[in-house]
Amino acid sequence: MHETIRSHFQSKVALENHEDDDPMHKSVRICLTMILLVFTVPAWSSLPAEVDGEPLPSLAPILEQVMPAVVNVHTRTRVQVRTSPFFDDPFFRRFFDFPSVPRERVQQSLGSGVIVDASAGLILTNNHVIDGADDIAVMLEDGRELSAEYIGSDRDTDLAVIRIDADNLHELPLTDSDRLRVGDFVVAVGNPFGLGQTVTSGIVSALGRSGLRGLEYQNFIQTDASINPGNSGGALINLRGELVGINTAIFTPSGGNVGIGFAIPATTAEHVMAQLVEFGEVRRGSFGAEVQDLSSQLREALEADVHRGAVITRLERDGALDEAGLEPGDVIVAIDNQKVTGAGVFRHIEGLLSVGTTVRVAYLRNGRERSASVRIEEDLDARISGHRLDDRLDGVVLARIPDRSRAQGVLVKDVRRNSGAWQAGLRSGDVVVAINRQLVRNLGELREQFPLPEERELVLEIRRRGTGYLVTLE
């Protein structure tokens, strides 16, 4: 057949090169073109395994190594359902003989995860995949289904670590995602819509993306590899089969994939995972500063010969930058040779610095570049996890109220769903104003109330949208 096609093609070329514009020649030429198309379509409809003795490029060998390390994550959450709007009223409950225990319904969700340490059975996934779950199960590529243990999570980066106990696990270690470049090919592996393991490919569309709601620290990899609901927590790999990111979110006006997906860089995930495994939480240091983007007006007023940076607007007394000699109005341009292009980048770098580390901060003052050595310390008067104060506050994150609000008390920044504090009624956004009838004006005064005697109850007086409540923790 190939000889036949070749002869037709040669005849076609000969006719096209002929200078005679005879109408008959034109008709013959058209007929031969159509015959050529008919004969060549079947030859192109299925690609050969190799061309000229060389195998066609394929991702299959890489994926055979990667896919056993990507798991499906299934969660179940029991949610109490009130049978009546009058359920909380003791008179109506007694008069109408309402049941003493609310009914429950079970919510199920699906996601993905990546085994990053086979010997320890550690799996990295997204916080929103397992947040508040009563039961977490993991299905491996070989069909095994196992119960998973919750290790820790970080809502601010949307990362979580769970653990399984099994033999013959495959792992996909995290690699240096800082080497990624826009245009690099990447592959997403996950469990979209609960279909089972699915592979999609694309490129790195952008780096350093931010602006997603609900996350404090953002430095996303943007990709056009298809990421859909259920892909969350799955792997983003490069063409060497290395884990460069954890798939997290999509931008979509319709609910489906439109080619804009986001993944948490592996360098960020590695830092967060190390702290979750060691402490069960992320312990963050603080520069003790508030900053804003460098605008064109500020650039001129501050005589800053740069187009991007983070301008210090306020310094906490005895904070890290204050101790290092920086002042309001200084423009921070780099931290340990990482460019600071704005307030978001500054906060992201700050959030990933380990407590006790020392960094070099480059900044501009009066048009002159300076630098300072800054030691990062944990500010327990700004933020603390409740379990470090009392076991009954496990799952609670307490924080300083922003100064601009001029309110007194301690902000409940987060409450893990289904924790003891959650079941007692404490919620994110509440403001604690007293503990066991002792007023607390700030987080420092609250910390002074602990430790409590074991037999003493813990009663929190809170303010919620202008109304006072009491929450008792047992």
CB-CB contact of 193 with 233 (8 Å) = no
Can you list the residues of the chain whose pLDDT is less than 70? Answer: 1-54, 79-106, 252-257, 403-405
In a domain? residue 51: no
Residue 84 CB partners (closer than 8 Å, separation 6+)? 92, 96, 98
CB-CB contact of 217 with 157 (8 Å) = yes
Scanning 105-162, the segments in alpha helix (DSSP H) are 127-130
Phi and psi at residue 124, to the nearest 5°: -100, 135
Phi and psi at residue 45, to the nearest 5°: -70, -25
Burial (CB count <10 Å: 0-12, 13-18, 19+), residue 246? buried
In a domain? residue 154: yes
Residues 189 and 259 in one domain: yes
| pLDDT per position as a tens digit, 225-248 | 988 888 899 999 999 999 999 999
In the block, residue with structure tokens 């055979």: 64
CA 156 to chain centre: 8
Q: 62: closest CA among 180, 167, 186, 175? A: 186
- Side chain identity at residue 41, one-letter code: V
Residues 85 and 193 in one domain: yes
In a domain? residue 227: yes
Bond from prior residue into 68 cis (ω within 30 degrees of 0): no
How wide is the angle at C-alpha 431 spanned by C-alphas 430 and 435, nearest 5°? 115
Q: 123: closest CA among 99, 104, 141? A: 141
Q: How far is CA 62 from CA 67, 112, 188, 228, in A?
A: 9, 19, 13, 22
Residue 77, token pair as written in the block: 């959450």
pLDDT given for residue 5 in this prediction: 39
Residue 75 CB partners (closer than 8 Å, separation 6+)? 108, 109, 110, 111, 129, 130, 133, 135, 136, 137
Q: 263: closest CA among 233, 229, 230, 228? A: 233
In a domain? residue 230: yes
CATH of the domain at 430: 2.30.42.10
In a domain? residue 29: yes
H/E segment holding residue 185? strand 185-190
Reported in sequence order, the residue ranges of 283-409 that DSSP labels E, i.e. its strands, are 289-293, 310-315, 331-335, 338-339, 358-365, 368-375, 383-385, 396-399
Residues 367 and 397 in one domain: no
| Active site (catalytic) residues | 128, 158, 232
Residues 10 and 151 in one domain: no
Domain boundary among 278, 303, 323: 278
What is the phi-psi region of residue 295: left when phi exceeds 0, alpha when psi lies from -120 to 50, beta otherwise? beta
Please spell the DSSP secondary structure of 113-157, one letter per residue.
Answer: EEEEETTTTEEEE-HHHHTT-SEEEEE-TTS-EEE-EEEEEETTT
Residues 404 and 341 in one domain: no
pLDDT given for residue 67 in this prediction: 94
Residue 373, token pair as written in the block: 């050595």
Residues 258 and 397 in one domain: no
Q: 448: closest CA among 456, 457, 438? A: 438
- Specify the number of domains making up the chain: 4
Residues 67 and 209 in one domain: yes
Quickly count: other Cβ atoms within 10 Å of residue 373's Cβ. 10
Residues 304 and 407 in one domain: no
Scanning 370-449, the segments in alpha helix (DSSP H) are 420-424, 443-447
Scanning 306-372, the segments in alpha helix (DSSP H) are 320-323, 343-351
In a domain? residue 283: no
CATH of the domain at 242: 2.40.10.120
Would strands 261-265 and 50-51 be described as parallel, antiparallel, or unpaired?
unpaired
In the block, residue with structure tokens 């240096």: 176
In the block, residue with structure tokens 């006072």: 468
Residues 354 and 402 in one domain: no
Domain boundary among 375, 395, 414: 375
- Cα separation, 138 vs 201, in Å, equals 24
Residues 141 and 254 in one domain: yes
- Cα separation, 206 vs 287, in Å, equals 28
Residues 254 and 118 in one domain: yes
Domain boundary among 375, 400, 419: 375
In a domain? residue 52: no
Residues 31 and 125 in one domain: no
| pLDDT per position as a tens digit, 116-159 | 999 999 999 999 999 888 899 999 999 999 999 999 999 889 99
- Side chain identity at residue 214, one-letter code: G
In a domain? residue 125: yes
Domain that holds residue 431: 383-473
Adjacent-strand bridge partners of 124: 114, 161
Residue 34 CB partners (closer than 8 Å, separation 6+)? none
